[in-house]
Structure 1
Amino acid sequence: MGIFAMPSLGADMEAGRLIEWLVSPGDAVTRGDIVAVVETQKGAIEIECFEEGTVRELLADIGTDLAVGAPLATIQAEGEPIPEAAVAEQATPVEAEQPVVTAPAPQPVAPIPPQRPQAPAPGVVQSSPAARIKARELGFDLAMLTGSGPGGAIVLEDVEAEKTPQSKRSPQDEMRRAIAAAMTRSKQTIPHFYLSQTIDVTPAMEWLTSFNEGKPPSERVLLGALFLRATVLASAKVKTVNGHFTEEGFKPSDKINPGLAVALRSGGLVAPAIVDAEQMGIVELMAAMRDLVTRARAGRLRSSEMTEGTITLSSLGDSGAESMAGVIFPPQVALVGIGAPGLRPWVVDGNVEPRHLVTLTISADHRANDGRQASRFLSVFDSLLSTPEAL
């Protein structure tokens, strides 16, 4: 019997709150099925199952805060025997034969008063498991609190509100706190180095103008999709930038799942990944980017998108600073930062011409890369953007 546990949805995640079950005991599940929704500092994340079988038991209640690795459900694999205890529960009891007794004549029976719900035992406070654990940690007496849960039960929020009644953090504050913790850990543990190169994106922008001509806005391709495609193809050629650094050392990834840094309207940042991006063309990548940004801002990302990134792309868009050197998202080993395009003088065939330029910067983990690999990545990226029709 397999245990489906709370997954880690990023280096900055320590716990999550279960807010919805999408399966019930007895449901069949396969790899990739969305089975639950968990709320973290970065929004609601759809949790995928990576086992096949039948959901046997749900071990966590909705609204409970659970640490990474905490059991959520049990899943019975196909062909796996059902535990004897469960078989006993499912067995239909057989009534023992009773002697035949002649019933007495019916007698008048007094009406039975309606049953009232049984009150909790004296001294027992209705509360959630998470609230009881937190109250023990803080030394609070639950009997002194007022519950806001079903039937007046005390839930975790009630305990936390009592702990810091004047300093409750907003979701945006929680996200900034999580980002700060992850980025601090990244800079403290990853030996970053940075290389930059200015590239001419005029050919790419001219090609886009021609490609998008006559198309409705929903079908147009943006420059960001070309940047993403170039990142994917350059990562395929320079494999040391694509993968994870673990306790065993650097492990290059067979897949290229570029994370896309998305600024949320409410504040904060997430970097969900486009899985198997190496199998997508420009149009498919553009559609995937639109979908990812829409769901990120709606707070409906999937667990695989938050955990399977192998390299990250962060672009400042059409306006902003000329360059950006980002912080690597662990356990990844590289982040590609692209400044805003600008019209500046550039030498072309010995002549100075106005050209659209961007500054491309790679932040690399020195444990997996050195200057030679990072420089080659920038060179390949530049070459790809100079012939956008080949992307």
Structure 2
Amino acid sequence: MSDFKMPALGADMEAGTLVEWLVKPGDRVKSGDVIAVVETQKGAIEVEVFAEGVVSDILIPVGERVPVGTVLAQIDGAGVAPPPVEPAIVAPKPALQALAEAPPRPTVAPQVSRRKITPAARRRAAALNLDLETILKGTGVEGSIRLADVEAGASVARPAPPLTRRGLDLSQMRQAIAAAMSRSKREIPHYYLAETVDLHLSLTWLEAFNADRPPIERILPAVLFLKAAALALREQSKLNGAYENGVFLPAAGIHVGWAIALRGGGLIAPAIRDTDKKTLAELMAAMRDLVERARRGNLRSSELTSPTITVTSVGDRGAESVTGVIYPPQVAIVGFGRVATRPWAVKGRVESRPLVTVTLAADHRVTDGHLGGLYLAAVARLLQEPEKL
């Protein structure tokens, strides 16, 4: 038996509201299935399960707000259904005849058997002020009443109005961002580095790549930034992971959190899993999908819990540089400013070149400026070889 708990969808989350169950007791689930929707400051998040088996009990009803770590449901990993109640043994015909011929016995009031009920179900029934006699059938072993039976009986007795997803609450999100960033600056000893990179080769290659493709298949410069940042982590893996309980935990994969600015304000950074292994076309499709779903408040829990580093790009309308604040428990954040045309020395002469400022904010408890500088140098080198990205 495994517990399905309210996940921590970021360092700023303390509690969430269950707005929808997508399974019921008895349903079989496998790892990666979305089984519930939880409302947080970041909107309605589809929560996945990472166990396999049969849903045995749903413990938290729709509409209830509970702290992170609260058990929401239980999954029977064995996936064994409750054994059926054995049928009553039918007496053979001679015994029935003997019973029919026997003299009548005095009438005795029938003895009422006590119904079996699990402790959790009894407590929930008391909290709901639900008469257990209204539950006609228990689904547990030998007909015992389980928590799921109490919830089902309560929904029949007092059907609750459907709870709608509220979507993004930008004021709450802003408070959550402020809390997380305040914690980051208070607890993490940041150091900062910057590198200016000549994008002449990258943009020339990109222009040729996009020339014969329809708009839907074209790639933005931000995709080159994302892939270069991910590949450089293969060389400097100490920037890719988490710092928890006084220890750095290196990540098994490179899952870059892509910072997305939301309309009306707010910021969210869901992960693109295995960023370093995806092609540029796959990354472009993943970025489009994330931006679309993030802006309508429809992300999955794994996309918010799995980033191993964050990359932010301010785009064409942003500032020339951006210095980020580390999102705990990550240990680094990479920023790409606006591409600006400026004078640049090339082989002893000054030319007009497209330049971008790449910044790194990293955790001094894990790395230092030397390693951070090597990382930025790797990013710059990779952007000089766009055909290898």
Please tell me the TM-score bracket, short chain as reference.
0.7 to 0.9
Structure 1 unaligned residues grouped into runs of 5+: 101-123, 128-149, 157-169
Counterpart Cα distance in 2 of 1:93 and 1:329: 60
Structure 2 unaligned residues grouped into runs of 5+: 101-125, 130-156
Counterpart of 2:323, as a letter, is A
Find 1:247's aligned residue among 245, 250, 253.
245
Q: Counterpart of 2:260?
A: 262
Q: Provide the secondary structure at the position in 1 that maps to 2:272.
A: coil
- Cα gap change, 1:174 to 1:155, in 2 (>3 Å): farther
Counterpart of 2:243, as a letter, is F
1:330-361 deviation digits (Å, cap 9, x = unpaired):
00000001111111111111111111111110
Q: Provide the secondary structure at the position in 2 that maps to 1:309.
A: coil
- Cα gap change, 1:29 to 1:311, in 2 (>3 Å): same
Check if 1:64 corresponds to 2:64: yes
Q: Counterpart of 2:182?
A: 184
Q: Counterpart of 2:135?
A: none
Asked whether the equivalents of residues 126 and 152 of structure 1 are also in contact (C-alpha less than 8 Å), the reply is no
Counterpart Cα distance in 2 of 1:33 and 1:281: 26
Counterpart of 1:185, as a letter, is R
Counterpart Cα distance in 2 of 1:194 and 1:174: 29
Q: Counterpart of 1:109?
A: none
Counterpart Cα distance in 2 of 1:151 and 1:353: 75
Q: Counterpart of 1:20?
A: 20
Q: Counterpart of 1:280?
A: 278
- Cα gap change, 1:347 to 1:7, in 2 (>3 Å): same
Q: Counterpart of 1:384?
A: 382
Cα distance, 1:248 vs. partner? Answer: 4.4
Structure 1 residues 72-83: aligned runs within 5 Å: 72-78=72-78
Moved segments of 4+, more than 4 Å: 92-100, 124-127, 150-156
Structure 1 residues 43-54: aligned runs within 5 Å: 43-54=43-54
Q: Provide the secondary structure at the position in 2 that maps to 1:225.
A: helix
CA RMSD of aligned residues (A): 2.6
Cα distance, 1:154 vs. partner? Answer: 11
Counterpart Cα distance in 1 of 2:336 and 2:10: 23
1:280-333 deviation digits (Å, cap 9, x = unpaired):
111111111111111111111111110110010011011221111100010000
Counterpart Cα distance in 1 of 2:369 and 2:308: 20
Q: Provide the secondary structure at the position in 2 that maps to 1:197.
A: strand
- Cα gap change, 1:95 to 1:61, in 2 (>3 Å): farther
Q: Provide the secondary structure at the position in 1 that maps to 2:254.
A: coil
Counterpart Cα distance in 2 of 1:95 and 1:176: 67
1:38-97 deviation digits (Å, cap 9, x = unpaired):
110001111111111111111111111111111111100126x66xxx65xx53674999
Find 1:336's aligned residue among 318, 329, 334.
334
Counterpart Cα distance in 2 of 1:313 and 1:75: 36
Cα distance, 1:266 vs. partner? Answer: 3.0
Q: Counterpart of 1:91?
A: 85
Counterpart Cα distance in 1 of 2:219 and 2:77: 44
Counterpart of 1:73, as a letter, is A
Cα distance, 1:278 vs. partner? Answer: 2.1
Find 2:192's aligned residue among 191, 194, 200.
194
Q: Provide the secondary structure at the position in 2 that maps to 1:250.
A: strand
1:128-153 deviation digits (Å, cap 9, x = unpaired):
xxxxxxxxxxxxxxxxxxxxxx9798
Counterpart of 1:272, as a letter, is P
Counterpart of 2:368, as a letter, is D
Q: Counterpart of 1:7?
A: 7
User: What is the total number of aligned residue pairs between the two structures?
Assistant: 329
- Cα gap change, 1:95 to 1:58, in 2 (>3 Å): farther
Structure 1 residues 83-232: aligned runs within 5 Å: 91=85, 94=88, 171-232=169-230
Q: Counterpart of 1:36?
A: 36
Q: Provide the secondary structure at the position in 2 that maps to 1:4.
A: strand
Check if 1:297 corresponds to 2:295: yes
Q: Provide the secondary structure at the position in 1 that maps to 2:271.
A: coil
Percent of residue pairs identical: 51
- Cα gap change, 1:28 to 1:188, in 2 (>3 Å): same
Asked whether the equivalents of residues 319 and 341 of structure 1 are also in contact (C-alpha less than 8 Å), the reply is no
Counterpart of 1:53, as a letter, is G
- Cα gap change, 1:187 to 1:174, in 2 (>3 Å): same
Q: Counterpart of 1:315?
A: 313
